[in-house]
Amino acid sequence: GSPVLAKTVIIAFLVAILIALFSGMAYMLKDRSDRRRTVRALTWRVGLQVALLGFLILAAVMGWITPHSVDGK
């Protein structure tokens, strides 16, 4: 596993989460008659967040990413 690949996957997850979040907001504001689309978009967002968390844990365990201290030492 490459650290660059892991970071690319993380950024892709974050972009997908933002897209799901804003599409849910757009459905909520513009399409008031069909709430299922809003719920579906927000369900995708939550699922993507759970998948991102799982990937972060996997990447840390596998050594693809390494956490650093707050003070930078």
pTM, full prediction: 0.79
pLDDT at site 46: 94
pLDDT tens, position by position, 4-56: 899 999 999 999 999 999 988 888 888 777 678 888 888 999 999 999 999 99
Buried b (16+ CB within 10 A) or exposed e, 33-58: eeeebbeebbebbeebbeebeebbee
